[in-house]
Amino acid sequence: MLSNGYGLTEAPRAVTLSSRDPRFFSTATGRAVPGTKLRVDGGELLLGGPSVMIGYLGAPEATAERLTGGWLRTGDEARMDPDGMVTVLGRLDDSRNVGGELVNMAEIDQELRCLDGVRDAAADVDETDGYGTTLIAFLVGEHELAQLRVGDVREALAARSGRAAGGAPVAV
């Protein structure tokens, strides 16, 4: 049996969709699994129930931002049909999932602009068959950019952000 799922680190496997529902072949994401509560508030998907985290370790401010009255604010834009079928429409912020890591695109843009020879930069994501979601960097700058290799960009971003250099695939 095929199923489509949605989950996040803070609440793994929150909704699922059975292949028996004809909407499986549409853009629908699924219904709440037993024990999970779902609602949409101001366009944002909120989750509740025993699978939702109790908080971020050592980060009470971040916990307070994401957990409100027992509901986890996912940061995902969604709609819910009257019968409980949820469709996730995208992110409400600048974050994207790249290689299983939530990446703030505005922060990546800023980190790219700090590279030697870069006058302006922008990052985006692309879905590829071989790698899934790939981070793409667009760089504008001086002639030094012609000598810049993808590995150099990856290492520079890792050094600036404290992330591992291996990370998700990056195309420049």
Q: pLDDT tens digit string along 46-104?
A: 999 988 999 988 989 989 999 999 899 999 999 999 999 999 888 888 777 777 677 88
User: How many Å apart are CA 124 and CA 135, to the nearest integer?
Assistant: 6
Short-list 89, 90, 162, 153, CA closest to 121: 153
Structure-block tokens of residue 53: 């985290």
Does the pLDDT of residue 8 top 80, yes or no?
A: yes
Q: What pLDDT was estimated at residue 168? A: 47
Does the pLDDT of residue 130 top 90, yes or no?
A: no
Does the pLDDT of residue 108 top 50, yes or no?
A: yes
User: How many Å apart are CA 23 and CA 137, to the nearest integer?
Assistant: 35
Provide the pLDDT confidence category of residue 44 given band limits of 50, 70 and 90: very high
Q: Report, as an integer, the average pLDDT of 11-19.
A: 69
30 sits in the region (left: phi over 0; alpha: psi -120 to 50; else beta) called left
Does the pLDDT of residue 155 top 50, yes or no?
A: yes
Least confident residue range of 7-11, 54-58, 97-101, 136-140: 97-101
Global pTM reads 0.64
**C-alpha distances out from residue 63 to 52, 54, 55, 161, Å:** 12, 8, 5, 22
Task: State the maximum Cα–Cα separation within the chain, in Å, rounded to a whole number.
Answer: 58
Domains of the chain with bracketed CATH: 3-91 (2.30.38.10), 95-171 (3.30.300.30)
Q: How many CB atoms lie within 10 A of CB 14?
A: 26
CB contact at 8 A, 27 and 65: no
Structure-block tokens of residue 126: 């692309």
Greater confidence (145 vs 52) lies with 52
Mean pLDDT highest for which of 33-47, 84-98, 117-131, 149-163? 33-47
User: How many Å apart are CA 48 and CA 50, to the nearest integer?
Assistant: 7
